[in-house]
Structure 1
Amino acid sequence: MSIDGWTVAKELGNGGFAVVYLAEKHSRRCALKLARHRDSSGDDKQTHARTMRELTALLLLEHPNIVRHQGYGYAERGNAYLALEYVDGWTMAEWAERKHPTFREVLTVFDKLAGALSYMHSRGILHRDLKLSNVLIRKSDGEPVIIDFSCATFSAAEELTDSGLPPGTDRFRAPEQFRWLMAHKDQHRARYAYQVADEVFALGAMLFDLLTDPRPTAERTRASLNSPSLKPPAVCSQNRRVPEFLSDLVGSMLSREPGLRPVDTEALRRELGELLANPSDEYLRTVHTPSDQVPAEVGAERVALEDGRKAGNPLGGVRMRGLAVLASVSVLVAAGALWLGRGVPPTVVQPQSEGLGAALHVPISPPSHLVPPAMSHSSSAAVAQTGPESVAQVQKEGPMKNAPTTEVPLQGRQTRGRARTTAAAECATMTLVAALAAGCPGAQIRPESFTCPAGAEESMREDLRWEDNEGFTVTIDSRFKRGERVWFTAGAEVEGVVPKSVDSRQRQVAPPGTRFFGKAYYLSDKMGRSEGPALVVRYDRVKLPGQDERPVCFVVEQTAYGYEDGRVWAPNAGGGYVVDRWP
């Protein structure tokens, strides 16, 4: 297919006003946007006028985070087209699922978007259709690029809209648009005056969806953001990983009253910059755990295949073993509740088809009724102990016999003491095999000898340039302050982070902000490099800032100062080392 000398390679997108193709002419590639005829209205002139208006807007703009024009022309049938810069990238929603960005990386992208919009608004141009699919993240450098100006307008632009509201996507419309529509429903010639405040709201809706939905590309029902009467839910109530100040900023951007939002996109950019300047490690965490961003059907398949591989069965062996373990659990739970005398009612756990355990590269949560709160993805893998008296007591007397069992609440988090008590009652009566399979905190979980996950050796040697037995500094659990002693739950997921103060070699190959994903274990005797009881954390995945997640084999061993009910008391900092097997 050829359009005015441009050779079309493939279709990139298809919208209400135009079709976009990847095209090439004289060894130059572009995104060729061809205006479509309006068959529904018979008015092909309107799409022509809209294309010319988009061209005019782009001619007024020259910004690295705004798509660039490369010319225009006409197809054989007379349709106007625009030749635009071709951006090889993902939509923002695809980027979030593929790259597993940290909060800092998301803030950096939105800081640049706010800067581009501030530049755009200073030239009197409003985009009017900001949404996740209209921002591309370039694969080569991670730069965001605003695309699709077919709905854009500027002060001298001709009005092309037949209805009261401008064209756009309802989810990203500010609530005042709907209030205006109700108030002017009988005034057919009335037109809503779109403002910068509408753009701020749309940007807030984009940020809300990225922070709260681990799979924003999926078609699903989501919380309403622009109800004229109902306030949007707080971001931190939907995702407990979100820092409080960031949640508050999104809440102000989504305010039902325009005057309560940041006054313009330049003011928004300054607020985003203040958050970026925050040195807190919580902004170095990934927005969602990678396991939450894997479709359920894919995750289940990976778990079954990996579990079967470990058992020597290429077809997967997880289902039968899981049923056997659960059958033994159901027989023992009722007696355990009576033995503990906690008043816990007898519970029969029904066998499920889901597998137990976790895939090698992507951690999958076991069924929620089997996993105590401290081991679920939404809970902490470590519990901080505060106060000098408690620290002195453990140092003097060893493990605390009456250590607190409640977790430190995260933002918007509910205490889960009752659930923990129930889990303890169930776990206390299980056989050792059943307890280890279910991951109860009462079971002493130790790491067995292991080899690296598939692809880890090549990844560490070829991609990361890590050397055998090389050591790196890491904050073991990014949810707690570096260096303080905390309670780690044996068998629970741990997400580590590289701190700012590292040597020049590590800055080159595992720089600050690098995220490590793995599990914590307790070692009661010498097995690895430790001389005595130790916390052992096996990290099998790593994500460098701005890069893809990779399989690795990286182990941290830290002196354990106590062990109680499946929890290890140890400092939240250590030096790990690159291995090809352990011990």
Structure 2
Amino acid sequence: MNATMLHVPPGSLIDGWQVSKPLGDGGFAFVFLGEKNGRHRAIKVAQHRESSGDPKQTHARTLRELTALLMLDHPHIVRPQGYGLAESGNLYLALDYVDGWTLAEWAERKHPTVREIVAVFEKLAGALSYMHGRGILHRDLKLSNVLIRKSDGEPVIIDFSCATYALAEHLTDGGLPPGTDRYRAPEQFKFLREHKDEHRARYAFQVTDEIFAVGVMLHELLTDPRPTELRPRFDLNSHTLRPPPPRLVNARVPAVLSDLVEHILARDPRTRPVDTEALCRELADLRAERSAEYDVPAHPPAEQRRGGPPPAALAIPSKPQPMEREVARMERPLRAGRWLAGLACIVALVMAAALWRAPGHVPSESRQATAPPLPAATPHSPPSRIAPPAMTPDSASTVTVPGPAIAAAPKEGFTLKTPVPEVSPSARALRPPKKSVAAVQCASLSLVAALAAGCPGAQIRPEAFTCPAGAEEAMREQLHWEYRAGFSLHLDHSQEQFDGVWFTPGAEVVSVAPEVNDHRQREVVPAGTRFYGKAYYLSDKMGRADGPALVIRYDRVKLPGQAEYPICFVHEGTVEEFKDGRVKASNRGRGYVVHRWP
């Protein structure tokens, strides 16, 4: 990234977008407020991270960010509205402009009640559940990457510079993925300690890491009346010291909420909420609590004025993480040849985005592309909930919990290329060599071509996750299921049982056990038992010798008249047809007990 991009004055042009003001900058991009044809957008221009040693890696990361955003369409996730090339030759993304405060600024200026904070995090958990269902991980959740829109108070997750998705290529050579140390789960630092001598060892970021980051954000808002201030704070991810219970720091935090935050920040990832869907349910239950203690400001407004002393329990100087030097190795340079190969991989992977969007060609700048409504989540039967016992502020509990219905919105056209506008010499950035610009333009055009192709060969497949916490014990002790035991299922209970029906990859599926002659199944899985899972599509290009397959991964089951149990259960069936991002398969199949997702 040319250093002149640091000082783009108001009135300058970035590929036809007139700069109004800077909005921020980070490790991978500068963000400006831009205006074109009466439309205001956040223009995010890729910048060269000096520590990476290779400016081309920045382009690859920007393409990956665009790929992830194109797979998403959710009211609480920032939406892409176009992309192109800046005069410097660097890629840029045009994103929704969210006029709002960061979560930290919102907490200080609006003095939200405990219930309002819980409601915001419920919506964030729902958005994350939607995102994770599509195989995407944000990997840099923090207070500054969530904005609260001033017009309606709705939260929006921003900055997908560090995001990844299933089958995405590694863009870093270090042990940990990019991110912010304070919000990293403790198991990441444990991984570095255990693998410090292994040059190629890379930590596999999981949903549990994302959940931990949510816990850090929630803990900060509940315990710190001035979270925007820069000062030493207690390390919530220390491997030696447990974080203080929120209620111990701030007596206004309800005991049950304090207990939930402790649960989210558990040292053992297996004891955190099983996924963000479960977390969303728990937060929804707390938001609905009738107790008056949820309707008072989380902090007295007087405490949130500048100048007062910070809370004593949070002013503990944090001991530097022993792994910080090793974390600094994360952004090693990639050679130019490897970058070109990486771009080819990204272009292939980005084809998956077309399966989540409307099929067909990508519109030009002057046309509008409207995304089809995403399928509504299949309703779940509500889980049974055991009333928590009376608790002291530092007690512990376990939790279980869905995302909200998804609202799709129309998008503007994604520009293939726009002519370079004539700008004044003072506003014109230096151009890189023509070959460099041509390479980026080619990558951009290839990206759009891949998106338009709708090729199923690069469809997202289920990631390898460990079983939900307690699944093996529940299947063995409560359900009496044996490993690899198979049961017949009516896969989509909302459609005819014996017909070939259409499934949407990434959508939730509720399957039901039918009446069968199998004595063993009738004994342990009676008719009417409900299995809750999500559908995925595996093509023959994903290493499958037996051809394409529909995979449904189940993580919960509910027997008639009983509570829900966590499970590891998978169905894999033959695909009859793949069209417009949907899979046609038989609605009658068989699933099997497993110890790990395949």
Per the normalisation by structure 2, the TM-score is 0.50
Give the letter aligned to residue 168 of structure 1: G
Aligned: 1:26 with 2:12: no
Mapped contact 1:236–1:411 kept (Cα < 8 A): no
Quote the offset at 1:146 in angstroms: 0.1
1:173 aligns with 2:209: no
The 2-side partners of 1:79 and 1:145 are apart by 26
Q: How does 1:114-133 map to 2 (within 5 A)?
A: 114-133=125-144
Q: Give the drift of 1:228.
A: 1.5
Greater shift in the superposed pair: 260-269 or 156-165? 156-165
CA distance in structure 1 between the aligned counterparts of 2:56 and 2:185, rounded to whole angstroms: 30
Distance 1:40 1:135 in 2: 26
Alpha-carbon separation, structure 2, partners of 1:17 and 1:256: 30
1:116 partner letter: A
Letter of the 1:68 partner, please give it: R
Q: Which has the higher contact order (CA 8 A, sep 6+)?
A: 2
Provide the C-alpha distance between the structure 2 equivalents of 1:136 and 1:14, rounded to a whole number of angstroms: 15
| CA-CA distance at 1:76 after TM superposition | 1.2
Q: State the 1:297 CA deviation.
A: 6.8
Which residue, 16, 33, 37 being the options, matches 2:48? 37
Say if 2:114 and 2:294, in contact at 8 Å, map to a contact too.
yes
For residue 218 of structure 2, what is the amino acid of its counterpart?
Answer: L
Q: Is the 8 A contact 2:218 2:261 kept in 1?
A: yes
Q: What corresponds to 1:164 in structure 2?
A: 175
Match among 199, 218, 229 for residue 207 of structure 1 = 218
Q: Indicate the residue corresponding to 2:345 in structure 1.
A: none
Aligned to 2:77: 66
1:264 Cα shift?
A: 0.3
- Supply the distance in 2 between the matched residues of 1:268 and 1:412 (Cα, whole angstroms): 20
Deviation at 1:227, TM superposition (A): 1.1
Hey, what's the Cα distance between the residues in 1 that align with 2:309 and 2:40?
35
Amino acid at match of 2:232: T
- Aligned letter for 1:199? E
Instruction: Report how far residue 77 of structure 1 moved.
Output: 1.6
Name the TM-score, length of structure 1 as normaliser.
0.51
CA distance in 1, matches of 2:393, 2:106: 27
Q: Indicate whether 1:221 and 2:221 are aligned.
A: no
Displacement after TM superposition at 1:157 (Å): 1.2
CA deviation string 1:394-443 (max 9, x = no partner): xxxxxxxxxxxxxxxx9659xxxxxxxxxxxxxxxxxxxxxxxxxxxxxx
Of 154, 160, 183, the match for 1:149 = 160
Check the 8 A contact 2:258/2:393 in 1, yes or no: no
SS at match of 1:232: coil
* Deviations, residues 287-328 of structure 1 (Å, cap 9, x unaligned): 0000000012799xxxxxxxxxxxxxxxxxxxxxxxxxxxxx
Unaligned runs of 5+ in 1: 300-409, 414-583
Please say if 1:263 is aligned against 2:306.
Answer: no
Distance in 2, Cα, partners of 1:265 & 1:40: 33
Supply the AA of the counterpart residue of 2:304: Q
Closer, same or farther: CA 10–221 of 1 in aligned 2, 3 Å: same
Q: In structure 1, which of residues 85, 100, 105 is the aligned counterpart of residue 116 of structure 2?
A: 105
Relative distance call for 1:202 and 1:298 in structure 2 (3 A) is closer
Counterpart of 2:95?
84
Letter in 1 for 2:116: E
Distance 2:173 2:22 in 1: 29
Q: Of 10, 13, 30, which residue of structure 1 is paired with 2:24?
A: 13
Q: For residues 32-51 of structure 1, what are the alpha-carbon distances to aligned partners after superposition, in whole Å with 9 as ceiling and x for unaligned?
A: 00001234444111000000
Q: What is the CA distance between 1:161 and its match in structure 2?
A: 1.2
**In 2, distance between residues paired with 1:99 and 1:111?**
18
- Cα distance in 1 for partners of 2:247, 2:20 equals 44
Q: Secondary structure at the match of 2:227?
A: coil
Question: 1:290 matched to which residue of 2?
Answer: 301
Q: Would you say the 8 A contact 2:76–2:154 is kept in 1? A: yes
Bigger Cα Rg: 1
The CA deviation string for residues 41-87 of structure 1, in whole angstroms up to 9 with x for no partner, is: 44111000000000000000000000000010001121000000000
Q: Indicate conservation of the 8 Å contact 1:243/1:411, yes or no.
A: no
CA distance in 2, matches of 1:298, 1:201: 28
The share of aligned pairs that are identical, in percent, is: 67
Distance 1:162 1:150 in 2: 17
Q: SS where residue 296 of structure 1 aligns?
A: coil
- Whether the 8 Å CA contact 2:140–2:179 is kept in 1: the answer is yes
Match of 1:535 in 2: none
1:30-429 alignment runs, 5 A limit: 30-296=41-307, 412=393
Rounded to whole Å, the distance in 2 between the matches of 1:197 and 1:139 is 31
Supply the AA of the counterpart residue of 1:160.
Answer: L
Question: CA-to-partner distance for each residue in 1:468-509, whole Å, 9 max, x for gaps?
Answer: xxxxxxxxxxxxxxxxxxxxxxxxxxxxxxxxxxxxxxxxxx
